[in-house]
């Protein structure tokens, strides 16, 4: 049995989505063509439009419709504090805390030496330029607490040191509402190592 080429191309194209194997791609393709042709059209248009309209904000590197995104242009944000995160999802998590009023820089990745992703691949010179705009006083490193996140934080610290900007790292420890009984050993061990003197 031969499959028409355009259908094959669609199935192949859907496989670029994370976690979509040949079977799910085939299921998706048949669903779109048989049951939801208008949905398929919307999807096609939306992908095309997004590709055309979205660019990286010149200041925070996140996706934006304009050269400088709304958040970076907002007068209500504190431009002296710059928070560095690995991904847009991480930035959204930080925003949900309502505890941060500064601006962001989204790396769109992390240093992972064994995956061949180094400082150059990550374009860290753009972060250096951003942090040296003369307004930023503190850079808060909110990369993940994985080896790769730590490696990234260390490299950025070394990179920014000569510029005189103060560099801080978010703290790690037991989650709020976390009962020790249910906290993983690694987190608990690190929280113990990084214990502080109690103030009265």
Partner 1 sequence: MQRQRADAQPAFVLHTTPFRETSLIVEAFTRDFGRIALLARGARRPRSAIRGLLMAFQPLELGWAGKGEVLTLMKAEWQGGQPLLTGQALFCGYYLNELLLHLLPREDAHERLFERYREILARLGADPTGKVREADLRCFEKALLQELGYGLTLDHDNAGRAITATAHYHYRMEQGPVLLSHAGEAEGAVLGRTLLDLGAEDFSEPRTLAEAKQLMRSLMAYYLSGKELETRKIFKELQEL
* Contact set with partner 1 (CB under 8 A): 18-21, 111, 113-116, 118-120, 146-147, 150-151, 154-155, 158-159, 161-162, 184-187, 189-190, 193
Taken in order 17, 21, 27, 29, the sign of the CA dihedral is: positive
Q: Which is nearer to partner 1, 76 or 193 (CB)?
A: 193
In 3D, which of 48, 31, 143 has the Cα closest to residue 89? Answer: 143
| Binds 4: which of Zn ion, partner 1, none (CB < 5-8 Å by kind) | none
Site of interaction with Zn ion (CB under 5 A): 57, 59-60, 69, 72
Which distant-in-sequence residues (6+ apart) come within 8 Å of 11 by Cβ?
3, 22, 25, 26, 29
| Binds 155: which of Zn ion, partner 1, none (CB < 5-8 Å by kind) | partner 1
Q: Which is nearer to Zn ion, 67 or 121 (CB)?
A: 67
| Binds 129: which of Zn ion, partner 1, none (CB < 5-8 Å by kind) | none
Q: What are phi and psi of 133, to 5 degrees?
A: -75, -5
Q: Which is nearer to partner 1, 138 or 150 (CB)?
A: 150
| Binds 75: which of partner 1, Zn ion, none (CB < 5-8 Å by kind) | none
- CA–CA distances in Å: residue 114 to residues 111, 123, 134, 143, 145: 9, 17, 35, 18, 17
Nearest distance in Å: CB 98, partner 1: 23
Nearest distance in Å: CB 147, Zn ion: 28
- How long, in residues, is the chain? 200
Q: Are 172 and 153 in contact (CB under 8 A)?
A: no
Q: Which is nearer to partner 1, 2 or 184 (CB)?
A: 184
């Amino acid at each position: 049995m031969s499959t028409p080429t355009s259908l094959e191309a669609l199935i192949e194209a859907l496989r670029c989505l994370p976690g979509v194997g040949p079977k799910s791609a085939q299921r998706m393709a048949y669903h779109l063509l048989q049951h939801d042709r208008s949905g398929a059209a919307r999807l096609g248009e939306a992908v095309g439009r997004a590709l055309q309209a979205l660019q990286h904000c010149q200041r925070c590197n996140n996706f934006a419709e304009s050269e400088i995104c709304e958040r970076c242009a907002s007068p209500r944000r504190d431009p002296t504090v710059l928070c560095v995160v690995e991904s847009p999802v991480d930035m959204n998590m930080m925003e949900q805390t309502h505890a941060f009023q500064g601006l962001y820089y989204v790396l769109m990745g992390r240093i992972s030496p064994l995956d061949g992703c180094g400082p150059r691949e990550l374009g860290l010179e753009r972060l250096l330029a951003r942090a040296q705009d003369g307004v930023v006083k503190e850079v808060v490193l909110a990369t993940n607490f994985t080896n790769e996140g730590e490696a990234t934080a260390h490299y950025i610290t070394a990179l920014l040191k000569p510029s005189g900007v103060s560099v801080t790292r978010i703290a790690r420890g037991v989650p709020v509402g976390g009962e020790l009984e249910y906290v993983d050993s690694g987190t608990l061990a690190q929280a113990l190592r990084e214990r502080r003197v109690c103030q009265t």
